Amino acid sequence: MIKKESKTKNIIIIIVAFFLGILLMYGIIYKYPVLITNNVTKLEKNVTVTDTGIADAVEKVYDSVVVVATYQNGNMIASGTGFVYKIDNNDAYILTNNHVIESGNEVNVTFTDGKIIKTEIVGSDALSDIAVLKINKKEVISVAEIGSSEKVRVGDTSFAVGAPLDSVYSWTVTRGIISGKDRMVEVSLSSSAGDYVMKVLQTDAAINSGNSGGPLCNANGEVIGITSLKLVSESVEGMGFAIPIEVALNYAEKIISGEKITQPYLGISMVNVVDAYYYPQYYNIIKENNISNGVIIVDIEKNSPADKAGLQSKDIIVKINNDEVTSVAYLRYYLYNYNVGDKIEITYIRDSKTLKTTVTLGSNSKTY
């Protein structure tokens, strides 16, 4: 009987000890969770994660990229980037920016193997900021594959290849995402083109001086744009811009075919309303009409489309068809969406009255 009671007592002790152990463990976890977390963290650090990035995509386009050097009478005056985008018979064509080559009379390109080739300047266009160079196809290492800027989505991976700052950093690759599409950026392309607005892709991939003319690519290594602009400010970082590849190719093919690139023209000289405050002859006009945006006509060429439509100096243009004209740059942008011979409706203010007239667009060596 004593043995039986002793056995029962031992079982009770074991059960009590078991539950006390559970309670003790629970208390330790509750009071010292960091100890457990640290242990788990240490175990996670032993896991190896392999990320090859976009190396395959970069290799796809890398050897098609060239460093562009522009010379004037034997002296190098500018440098940038370009890429081989097509071969036609025995000729290979290179895309770059107009502002990279516009002031020179000789352009050389350097390939990734160090080979330097003198090019033929096929032609360029200041407004689109596109230039085309030509070399013999036997000099080419690789041809870039063309993609679609229209299919790319905000947030998609993008990368640029170029020669920022100096030839020492040639074929630098920078990676980011597409930060925006159809961005309207006001720029001054050259002294001849003046203020203009370009519709561009925005990326946070680093774009530095010397990258101009190089390819902006998608994650498949296909070219979706030509890096052309960088918004520079002490308070802004990671805002680079690229001309959509479809726009660039359209102008490139016109240049190669020898087609004269003409823009419709009104035949006026003009000034921004926001700048007219500095001109005494326009100050009262702005004050009387209580406007802050638009374009004031300074002068009109005789027998020009604007003259024939009845426009006069000191008229304030505020609309082209349904598009609001806020500045000279935007007037040019909306105007150049039309063709020579098209009819457009211009809304303007004269003597505090809002009026409209129809203009048949002409063609001239001038661009506005």
- Enzyme catalytic residues: 99, 129, 212
Who contacts 56 (Cβ-Cβ below 8 Å, separation ≥6)? Answer: 221
Q: What is the DSSP letter of 32?
A: -
Longest dimension (CA), the chain: 131
Q: Is 129 helix (H, G, I), strand (E, B) or coil?
A: coil
Reduce the DSSP state of residue 60 to 3 states and report it.
helix
Which residues have CB under 8 Å from 217's CB, separation 6+?
A: 57, 61, 147, 158, 159, 160, 161, 223, 224
Q: How far apart are CA 146 and CA 132, in angstroms?
A: 16
What is the gyration radius of the CA atoms in the chain, in angstroms? 32
Residue 86 and residue 92: Cα distance in Å, rounded?
6
Q: Is residue 195 within 8 Å of residue 188, measured between CB atoms? A: yes
CA 123 to each of CA 81, 128, 133, 281: distance values in angstroms, whole numbers, following the listed order: 16, 12, 7, 42
3-state secondary structure 37-52: HHHHHHHHCCCCCCCC
CB atoms within 10 A of CB 263: 19
H or E segment and range at residue 83 = strand 75-88
Round to whole Å and give the CA distance between 89 and 107: 22
Beta bridge partners of 359: 344
